[in-house]
Chain A
Amino acid sequence: MKKLAVNKSTGKKISGMMIAGLALFATQASAGTLDDVKARGHINCGVSEGVPGFSNPNSDGVWSGLDVDMCRAVSAAIFGESDKIKFVPLASKQKILAVVTGQVDLTSRTTTWTMKRDTKEGVDFTTIVFYDGQGFMTRKDLGVSSAKELDGATVCVTSGTTTELNLADFARANNLNFEPVVFEGKKEAVNAYRSGRCDALTTDNSQLASFRTTMPDPSAHVVLPEVISKEPLSPLVKHGDNQWKDLVTWTINGLITAEELGVTQKNVSNLAEAQRNNPTVQRMLGASGEYGSYIGLENNWMVNAISAVGNYGEIFDRNLGKDSPLNLPRGTNALWQDGGLMYVAPLR
């Protein structure tokens, strides 16, 4: 048994080394990604095969979702148009490798930023676009507004997963008494919750939101604000191309900053005129300074990005939030000034 474990880890090490080596090779072989992209005329963007609210073809076959909009923003920042993209649906196993091998320029596919991926697997993460994590859903008529009020509740959870452990840890840390009802799979847990066997259901927040819409009356259920585990989702690029990483990072940072400053899809075209005395707005929209040129783009890059997809808040509301069927509360994904975690380095 022990021998087997050793072999497995060696195997992993070898494949990890192989990937890292190939990544190095690939980086040396190609020119900068931005030059490649400009020459090609479009970006290759890795997305999922269908995660509600994040990336999914809509009924017309047009890709939409929060992850998709990040790619559209990058496309608009580079080309001035949001549709210079080739979307490549990636299975979960491919999402890292596709970036490493250059099959896609960036993967924007609900990928958790972890140390191992960042350091060993040949990719770099850009900016966190969604703070996912384990949360709770419960029926509205229980009148509960916080998971800490769930003392004594029965909670549906999937067995043998970190989800179950997180639940136990959260209960102990907050001196709560949960009665976990354990299920083999997620579907079973959801069905049990639907039929009223438990007071609450716990899994990743983004999933809770989509489970909620499958309830007979979605408005009778609520996702509670607490998040008890860390799953920061971020788009990723190939390790070693700093210019390209900067470009993706600062385009997304710009979208978040735009929300802080109240720059929206509607007002972006004339805001630079209207707010002459707001230096941050002036810088971001290219009216002063040459910030676009720092990342190899035109100075109106953010104007293009925001007019294509709107600021971060608009993107969230449209795909996951109040304007979408998922109706997920901003919660941890609210701006820092509104009590959330969305905080990016200043654009100056």
Chain B
Amino acid sequence: MTMVFQPSPDMPPPASQTGLLHWVRNNLFNSFANGLLTIIGLAILANIIPPLVNWLLIDAIFQGTAETCRQGQGACWAFVDAQIKLFLLGPYPTELAWRPIFSAVLLFGLFIITARHMLKTAHLVVAWLILPLPIYWLIGGGLGLEVVDTSEWGGLMLTLVLAVVGILASLPIGVLLALGRSMQNKVIKGFCICVIELVRGVPLVTILFMATIMLPLFLPTDVEIGILYRVQFGIILFSSAYIAEVVRGGLQGVDKGQGEAAVALGLNRWKTTIFIILPQALKIVIPPLIGRCIALLKDTSLVVVVGLLDFLGIAKAASQDAEWLGFDAEAFVFCAFIYWVLCFSLSRYGRSLEKRGQVGHH
């Protein structure tokens, strides 16, 4: 009978090295300075969080009129509830609300399909690129649907239209600009550099003002381009220039050998670019691209300076309703929350893309 050496089980680590206490000591109180900072931090939090929670939830008024709200101490979510149609759709006709709602279902449906990788990439690209058409048709009407003028678009709907169309249009344009900038042809290269640097050299607000105030001065009076289209054009232009620079970074990050190998295999220039270089370049720049999309979504709130009532603009207008005066804070908190939800889901989607991309890297 052979004896097998049976080590006796390990002793548990001493109590001072495990558990919550150890973690706290190691991370929060591992030196005098850190201990002090921890205490100051906790004191600040203790002063901020309880009143905030009180205002946001505990004392908040969820139902009632402006009168009940003014008597109370907390946030007036009844105000958001009463104005919810305005927040979401702006001055859009209430009886036609199903149209933007259906568009939203399309948009989020496609977003979920994309996020869960339920369709082939090629199909997804096509689906996203044609998505603006049904959305514009549903919201704007025409072809059998009652026409709703763009001056009646507003609220969250307008923000999403500007952002989604902006992102979808500026991605391909940005990629083209980036490719153009990395070409040998001096004319194309020069043109792309000019566009990119000119647009990147001015703030978005300037472009919006140019599009809304200066442009009509130069157009004949009978040429009427809706302000929404002009603003949308400005946003696409602005975003394209930034995306071009992001993509150019990616192009430079792709190993030179990849292109040379493709050429050696007999692929022509275009096939090399589309099937070898671009996919790798885009994979590298997913984080900054998602960053640009998030920035664009938030930048659309600048259209408020040219009088478009986007989500933020309508939040301001809603808090100026004579019946519900004085609830600006609630309007802005609600606004911030929705923006956060949108941006955070975009950012999570970006993370999932990055993870998927890591499989078979190089």
Contact = CB atoms under 8 A, between A and B. Distances in A.
B287 interface: no
Contacts of A324: 322
A90 B307 contact: yes
A346 interface: no
Nearest to B320: A50
B200 interface: no
A51 B319 CA distance: 10
A213 B327 CA distance: 11
B216 A210 contact: no
B31 to A, nearest CB: 42
Given A50-B320, A61-B91, A214 B309 contact: no
Contact of A89 (B70, B83, B216, B307): B307
Interface in B131-146: none
A93 B71 contact: no
B82 to A, nearest CB: 6
Contacts of B174: none
B309 A49 contact: yes
Given A30-B221, A57-B91, A63-B91, A51 B85 contact: no
Contacts of A62: 91
Interface string B281-310: 000000000000000000000001111110
B103 interface: no
Given A61-B89, A63-B91, A103 B216 contact: yes
Contacts of B90: 57, 61
B41 interface: no
B322 A59 contact: no
Interface in A4-47: 18, 22, 26, 29-30
Contacts of A215: 70
A94 B307 contact: yes
Contacts of A22: 217
A56 B315 CA distance: 12
B255 interface: no
B325 A210 contact: yes
Contacts of B212: 94
B18 interface: no
Contact of B151 (A51, A59, A88): A88
A325 interface: yes
A88 B216 contact: no
Interface in A52-101: 52-53, 56-63, 86-91, 93-94, 97, 101
A97 B213 contact: yes
A189 interface: no
Nearest to A46: B307
Interface in A294-348: 319, 324-326
B326 A214 contact: yes
A93 B212 CA distance: 11
Given A89-B307, A91-B305, 5 more contacts: A29-B222, A49-B313, A57-B314, A88-B307, A326-B322
A-B residue pairs, 8 tightest by C-beta = A214-B326, A50-B317, A50-B320, A61-B91, A101-B216, A89-B307, A52-B322, A91-B307
A216 interface: yes
Interface residues of B, number: 43
A61 B86 contact: yes
Contacts of B70: 214-217
A323 B58 CA distance: 34
Contacts of B323: 325
A61 B320 contact: no
Decide if the interface of chain B is mainly helix, strand, loop or mixed.
helix
Contact of A213 (B82, B217, B319, B325): B325
B149 interface: yes
Contacts of A217: 70
Nearest to B89: A61
A52 B325 contact: yes
Contacts of A59: 82-83, 85-86, 318, 321
25 contacts: A29-B221, A30-B221, A49-B309, A49-B313, A49-B316, A50-B318, A52-B320, A52-B321, A52-B325, A56-B321, A57-B154, A57-B317, A57-B318, A58-B321, A59-B82, A62-B91, A86-B149, A87-B151, A88-B307, A89-B308, A91-B304, A91-B306, A97-B213, A103-B227, A325-B322
B7 interface: no
Nearest to A319: B322
A50 B316 contact: yes
B317 to A, nearest CB: 3
A345 to B, nearest CB: 31
A53 B321 CA distance: 8
Contact of A26 (B71, B221, B320): B221
B34 to A, nearest CB: 39
B94 interface: yes
A325 B309 CA distance: 24
A66 to B, nearest CB: 11
Nearest to B328: A187
Contacts of A90: 307
A278 B272 CA distance: 88
A1 B321 CA distance: 44
Given A29-B221, A50-B316, A216-B71, A56 B94 contact: no
A94 B305 CA distance: 9
Contact of A94 (B71, B213, B314): B213
A337 B154 CA distance: 43
